Structure 1
Amino acid sequence: MSPPPRQEEGHRPTPDRKALRLIGDRVRKRLMQDPGAYRVPVDSAEIFAFADFLDAHECAHLMRMIDEVALPSRITRTADPDFRTSYSGDIDPSDPVVRTLERRLYDLTNIEPTWGESVQGQRYHPGQQFKEHCDWFDTNQEYWKHEAQTGGQRSWTAMVYLNDVEAGGVTAFTRIGVTIPPQAGALLVWNNNGPDGAVNWNTMHAALPVERGEKYVVTKWFRSRRWGA
């Protein structure tokens, strides 16, 4: 996850464009056929929501797991110390609840299981936030050399809210005016690219500051091919 790339209008090579277009077609077809899917009514980004994707027991279990691994969140590059102030950490992939969650996501999206990154948990205390950023990788940056060798560009993001938040903590897609409040067990899925396979700037988003209470989410990112070294 990166802050807004610099020189937004500059050219960005898209070496995985064909693969991203094909993945987008496959996932879009699967989600559009799912009776539980709600597509956010915007033309400039593909964002889907599912209520009650996880039950209360699963959410509580995952929140406890996040508490066990959470450390101050890191970011690829930024000079702003307040850019990402949450806690986060990868959670145990062998845990039965995590394995069930991943199977559901693979079935839902129709993406190859080996193309998914580890599930990451995030926790936000009052005042904590994650400012506007992209989930896709900026191919003009030095870190892309590593990502190109370990799965390539990110395709889709899946994020599950684990609790209701007393106030604040809204997910804001900042460039298209879409805001989504946390709802325990609800899943958001979005395509980080356009139908043509090019990165979609309209998927820039932010976790707005929590005002009261805490916010827990789990996130899984999918790549354009097999993930890992």
Structure 2
Amino acid sequence: MPFSEVAERLRSRDGVQRVPNPALELFMVRDFLNAGERAELIAMIEAQRRPSTLADDFGEAAFRTSETCDLSARDPLVAAVNGRISALLGLDDRLGEPIQGQRYAPGQEFKAHTDTFEPAGADFYTHTAVSGQRTWTAMIYLNDVEDGGATRFKTIGKTIQPEAGKLVAWNNLLGDGRPNPATLHQGMKVRRGVKYILTRWYREHPFPG
């Protein structure tokens, strides 16, 4: 399925909620993962986490302060989650980057950013030469957070609270293929507790490996 048709597919699916804003195709699905799956994935993140990195930190050392890990698709649970996300979106699984787990401790955040690679950026060609631009993002909250840790879409004024098992998906591009500035979003500071999420990005062309 062409990535441009994903939104129409999601609108027709039972249990999928669309955020009603014409500037951005943004959807939510509750209870996408069960408690046992979430616990196993959290354990993987705890075992493999490392400091998060950025393609461009905009010269700000504390722009992204979380921890990250790449989850191997050789693991049966990870492979199953990958397949379920791709089936929900109707996208070829080969378009997906390796799924990542992220951990946010109290005080950690990811300041306002988009998931696309900026055409004027120094590393644009490096990141897009083979697989193209990021098209859709799928993010899953693995736990409830005691306080903080919401995802705030600043341009459209929408704040999504962490909720265990909830998947959030959005289209990063405009109809003409340019990055959509309305996807600007922020992983707000965790105040109490720890936040765990999964993130998978999809590309225009198959991702190597």
TM class by shorter chain equals: over 0.9
- CA shift, 1:89, in A, is 1.2
Q: Identify which of 94, 98, 103 aligns with 2:74.
A: 94
2:171 maps to 1:191: yes
Equivalent position amino acid for 1:68 in 2: A
Query: Which 5+ residue runs of structure 2 have no aligned equivalent?
Result: none
| Equivalent position of 1:57 in the other structure | 36
| Residue identity (%) | 41
Take 1:207 and 1:219, find their aligned partners in 2: how far apart are those partners?
12
Equivalent position amino acid for 1:162 in 2: L
Aligned residue pairs total 208
Equivalent position amino acid for 1:37 in 2: V
Take 2:76 and 2:142, find their aligned partners in 1: how far apart are those partners?
17
- CA shift, 1:213, in A, is 0.1
Deviations 1:93-149 (A, max 9, x none): 111111111111111111111110000000000000000011011111121111222
Equivalent position amino acid for 1:132 in 2: A
Equivalent position amino acid for 2:186 in 1: A
Deviations 1:1-27 (A, max 9, x none): xxxxxxxxxxxxxxxxxx9xx412x21
TM-score, scaled to structure 1 = 0.88
- CA shift, 1:69, in A, is 1.3
| Equivalent position of 1:202 in the other structure | 182
Take 1:167 and 1:92, find their aligned partners in 2: how far apart are those partners?
30
For residues 1-229 of structure 1, the aligned pairs below 5 Å read: 22-24=2-4, 26-78=5-57, 79-228=59-208
Equivalent position amino acid for 2:141 in 1: Y
Which stretches of structure 1, 4 residues or more, deviate above 4 A after TM superposition?
A: none
Please state whether the residue corresponding to 2:205 is helix, strand or coil: coil
Equivalent position amino acid for 1:168 in 2: G
| Equivalent position of 1:9 in the other structure | none
TM-score, scaled to structure 2 = 0.96
Query: Which 5+ residue runs of structure 1 have no aligned equivalent?
Result: 1-18
Please state whether the residue corresponding to 1:30 is helix, strand or coil: helix
Take 1:52 and 1:90, find their aligned partners in 2: how far apart are those partners?
23
Please state whether the residue corresponding to 1:139 is helix, strand or coil: coil
